[in-house]
Each structure stands twice: as C-alpha cells, then as structure tokens.
Structure 1
Amino acid sequence: MIVDAIQLSNTEFEGKNNTYLLRGDEIALIDTGVSTPQTENALRTGLADHGLTVTDLDHIFLTHLHEDHIGLAGTLQRESGATVHAHSADAPLIARKSEAVDQFRQTQHKFFDRWGMPTTARRELLDFFKHHDKLRGEPADLTTHTDGDVITVGNKQLTVVHTPGHTAGHIGYAFEDKDGTALFAGDALLPHYTPNVGGADVRVSHPLDSYLTTLSRIQDADFERAYPGHRHLITDPAARAQEIIDHHHERSQRVIEVLNKYTAADAWTVSAELFGDLSGVHILHGPGEAYAHLHHLTKNGVLTEDDGAYATKSDTKHHLKDLFNEIE
C-alpha cells in the first residue's frame, strides 16, 4: 500500500489540511477537507496527479466529525460509490441526524451558561456556526466502527484505534508496512498545535482525562510514525505525545496561577487570562480548553467547584505534586 499526502487549502481552522491517498489493490482516502470549491479542486487535482479520479475511490476513512475532515465525504461518495467509515460515537453528527444535532446544540448552550460566556460573545459564536455549516457539505452514508475493528483495503488492513478527547468518536487507523506500524492520527496528534479539548466536542464528559489517556495509548503503541490531519509527518509519535502531555501539565499550573488571583472564577474568566480576547471558533475553544483543565483539576482533588465557579484549595501545591510528578 502506497501512502501519498494531498495537502488541501484551509483558512478556516488550523490550516494545511491533509488528506491521505492510499493506493493498492483498492483506492482509499483518509479524511476529505472542507466542502468548498477550492478544496474540492485541490483534491481532484491531487488525485489526477496520481492518475486517478474520484470514481476510482473504494473507501473514505473519516477520523472525526469536524468539517475540515468530513466536508467533501458525501460529495465524493455520491460520485464514486465509496464506503465511508467513521466511529459510531461521531457518526450521528457526521450524518447530521436531526435529533443528534439538536441534542448537541442544546448541550453546547448548557456549557456556554456554565462557562459564563457573555451574550455578545455567544452571538458572535452562533453567527460563526451559521456561516460555517455549509463547510460540512453533503452528509455521507456511513459504515460505523469501534476500537479494534479491522478493515480490509485491498490486500492490506487498517485497524481502528479509538483516540477520544478532541471528539468523543475520534479514531486513528493503524497499519503495518515494511517500516513498522504507522497511524493515521487525524487531530489526535499534530506536529505544531495541541488539539483543542473541552470545546471541540462538549459531549466528552472528561475531556482532558480522555485525551491524556489517548496520548498515553499512542506512546504505548510505539508507532514508527504518524500521519496527522494537518501539516507534516510526525517521525517520533511517542515523543510528540509526551510534548503535548507536558504542555497540558504546564497549562494546569498556569490555571492554578490564574485562580490564585480570584476568590473564585468561571471558565470564561480563566480563558480570558490564558488566551486574551477571542474571535471566531476560538470563542468556543478558549473557554472549552479552560473548562477541560478546571474539570480535570477538580476531578483530581486540586480545585473546588460550585455552580461553575472554581477555586483553589489550601493544599493545592500538595495535590499538584501528586497529580503531576514532575512538578516541584
């Protein structure tokens, strides 16, 4: 199986989206980019560079529900008849089932209240959502999977690896070749950014805990390389996972420093201290990230929480030492 990266234009989110073309006895794509004419043209051109057209596609593998990964899936499926694969937890939102979408939006609004999001910021965020809905494109008919499922692609196999945190149903696809085991990582492991947790999918009940478990699982798997959803190949996935774990430990320390300035503070207040003024999707991601850390620290006995207001305990330093061994 030959793997080729096709980089797609995307000014909407992290940028420099990758779709991966798998060539062998069958033809497959990993993720598809947003549904815009520019991205679709780039994808079609990328296929043509390898002597292929959309009609040659047999499979489309989606890593998670966000529009910069699923936007063209329905369009490509209609033209090719390809089987589109996704995790069962993200599938109802990818397919835009009305009940699932309504429940998701209701849950978001509950968190906006809990985080203390101001009315003006909420209006801007809702306008952003409305404008970006079109980037999701046509919904695809999905074949769903769970952790450990093995999917045959020609004479090769992909193994589903559940990697929640960024979304509830985020998955990677592992495969073996002559150089060892590799992972199509989606947004679970990125070379420059740390994927948002907390805001990116409010259905994840313990977002930071889930994501830290995912990073530990990636380390334990000892992948030779990872193909991320954005930017360049990761040649040492375990080391990159550790860098992100260290980043979150440092951010938790910063959250404690912020809370020491207040008697108690909500996620929006902590977010403002961490990230400053926010716009666009970051109105969601900022307080979501702050909440993920606040919830993690509360769950592990470092903070107290009362109706969305968080405060430090008198023995916070002791608790932090227990939670993060490397903190002095």
Structure 2
Amino acid sequence: MRLTQHIDLVGSGAAGFDLTDPLDCHVYLVRGPHGAALIDAGAGRSAALFARRLTTAAGPTGERHLLITHGHADHSGGAAELARLVPGLAVRAGSPADEWIASGAEEKLSVDRGKASGVYPPEYAFEACPEVRPIADGEQVDLGGGVVLTAIATPGHADGHTCYLLEASEGRVLFSGDCVFAGGRISLQNLHDARVPEYAASLTRLAALDVDVLLPGHHEISLARGGRHLASARNAFTRGLLPESAT
C-alpha cells in the first residue's frame, strides 16, 4: 500500500488493516536511491513477504536495513527470519531491547505476559536474532537523495523504545511504534518496563518535532497535520492526566 513517495505499508495485522498475519504490527518500507529500510519486523510468519519487498526495493547492491521500534514480539518477532532471508541486512534496535532480541529473552520482551493475556497463542515462540545491534539516540540511516531516518529514544511504553523520524521530500514523518497513536492515544501496559515519567518526557520531546505525517505501529495513520496527535498526548500529561489508551 503506497502511502507517500518514499513509504509503503507492507504489513498490518488485526489491530490495523489485516494485510498480513493477524499478530503483525504495521510494517513500513522506506525507499531511497541508496537502499531501503523496514520499520519493524512483524511477529514472524510474514517475514518471507517482507524480505521480498525489502530486497526488491533495495535492488541488487543497495543497503538493506531493519529498524525495530521496540522488543515486543509483534514488532520484532520476525527479525531472526528476516536476517536469514536478506543478505547483508543491518538489524538495529534501541538498548536494552537489542540485547533481549538478540538472546530471545521472552520474559524481558513480555512474551509471557502476552500469552497470558491472549495476545499471542500458547505455542508462540520468540526466535532470538543474534544479528541485532544497538542504535543510539540521534543516529542516522541515510538512504540517499535526502531520505534520512533519525533514531529518537522514546522510553515509556517499553525500555529501548525508539521512534524514527524521516526527513524527505514529503515532509517530516514520524514512525512512532507503540509510543503514540492517532488521536493522541498511548499504550501504557502493566509490564515490567512501562514507565510513566519517561513516557511523559518522550511525548514532550516528540511534540516539539512538528511532524507532518504520523505512522504508528497499529490502528489509524495520519498523512497530514500529524503533530496534532503528539500535542494532544503531551497536553494530557502536562495537565497531570493520562492520555486515552489505545487497545
């Protein structure tokens, strides 16, 4: 599904548009003259499809990147299979999520809680991806032609949560993972690494970016005036309240 000149939506599960496996988050493909990047990997069963799309977009000699927003399995469970299927794939995630994904630490990644709540089926197993490397706050991935992705550390929903800001001809695009959704909703769960003060600080930082397009990990997307959703979430925290929850 083409969204902008440089961005396709290539995956989306039951909490989205039902394009791929029901467990998948939104998976985005970003294209530039020097290569291509996937934002998130889905839960795993759609990895072959995502690998084909990435390989085709990058071309035979282009760079291939996988940028993971956070370690929850609907976003990172497909990383190991993608690393096998895509030669030269650079897999990146914020710390400490990179270490948990690399080792397949299901309790740290809250896969156990996901199974207990019925999000993942009992037989779901997270496959470790030793190829993942950390991405630092402010680090950039340059796909050429002015298509540049910048990592923004945004803890709160989960430790190591990272948003990615795209600067390209269509404007400023924020891939927000599960940090913030359309309508200013957030996802604050009863998990070991969900942290309210950090969440508030992350949303204050994002609201200052004045983004044009908001592309979250689930639910609706916003192709214009995306910053209004970030401001709504920030303003609720500023008033001492919790923003509305995305379910």
Q: TM-score range by the shorter chain?
A: 0.7 to 0.9
The 1:33/1:132 distance shift into structure 2, 3 A limit, reads farther
**What residue is the counterpart of 1:270 in the other structure?**
none
Are 2:232 and 1:243 aligned? yes
Higher mean displacement: 69-78 or 55-64: 55-64
Matched-pair contact (CA < 8 Å) for 1:15–1:230: no
Higher helix share goes to which structure? 1
1:170 and 1:41 map into 2 onto residues whose CA distance is 25
Look up the SS of the partner of 2:180 in the other structure: coil
1:53 and 1:108 map into 2 onto residues whose CA distance is 32
Look up the SS of the partner of 1:139 in the other structure: coil
The 1:58/1:20 distance shift into structure 2, 3 A limit, reads same
Matched-pair contact (CA < 8 Å) for 1:166–1:211: yes
Give the alignment partner of residue 63 of structure 1, picking from 57, 61, 69: 69
Q: CA deviation at 1:146?
A: 1.8
Q: TM-score, normalised by structure 2?
A: 0.74
Q: CA deviation at 1:197?
A: 2.1
The 1:194/1:174 distance shift into structure 2, 3 A limit, reads same
1:108 and 1:76 map into 2 onto residues whose CA distance is 20
1:169 and 1:228 map into 2 onto residues whose CA distance is 16
> Cα deviation per residue 1:225-283 (whole Å; 9 max; x = unaligned)?
22111133323333212333455689959xxxxxxxxxxxxxxxxxxxxx9xxxxxxxx
Look up the SS of the partner of 2:26 in the other structure: strand
**What residue is the counterpart of 2:139 in the other structure?**
149
Matched-pair contact (CA < 8 Å) for 2:101–2:128: no
Listed as ranges, the matches of 1:206-225 within 5 Å are 207-225=195-213
Higher mean displacement: 88-97 or 27-36: 88-97
Give the alignment partner of residue 101 of structure 2, picking from 94, 105, 113: 94
1:35 and 1:108 map into 2 onto residues whose CA distance is 13
The 1:64/1:108 distance shift into structure 2, 3 A limit, reads closer
**What residue is the counterpart of 1:278 in the other structure?**
none
- Structure with bigger gyration radius: 1
Q: CA deviation at 1:166?
A: 0.4
2:119 and 2:140 map into 1 onto residues whose CA distance is 37
> Cα deviation per residue 1:150-196 (whole Å; 9 max; x = unaligned)?
22334532211111110111111112112332211111121258332
Look up the SS of the partner of 2:100 in the other structure: helix
2:80 maps to a residue whose letter is G
**What residue is the counterpart of 2:12 in the other structure?**
8
Look up the SS of the partner of 1:184 in the other structure: strand
1:86 maps to a residue whose letter is A
1:133 and 1:249 map into 2 onto residues whose CA distance is 39
Q: How many residues align?
A: 231
Matched-pair contact (CA < 8 Å) for 1:183–1:226: yes
2:74 and 2:14 map into 1 onto residues whose CA distance is 8
**What residue is the counterpart of 2:178 in the other structure?**
187
1:127 and 1:178 map into 2 onto residues whose CA distance is 41
Q: CA deviation at 1:126?
A: 8.0
Listed as ranges, the matches of 1:19-38 within 5 Å are 19-24=27-32, 25-36=34-45
Higher mean displacement: 57-66 or 189-198: 189-198
Matched-pair contact (CA < 8 Å) for 1:198–1:208: no
The 1:237/1:127 distance shift into structure 2, 3 A limit, reads closer
Q: TM-score, normalised by structure 1?
A: 0.58
Q: CA deviation at 1:85?
A: 0.8
Q: CA deviation at 1:35?
A: 1.6
Matched-pair contact (CA < 8 Å) for 2:73–2:111: no
**What residue is the counterpart of 2:91 in the other structure?**
84
Q: CA deviation at 1:217?
A: 1.0
Look up the SS of the partner of 1:58 in the other structure: strand
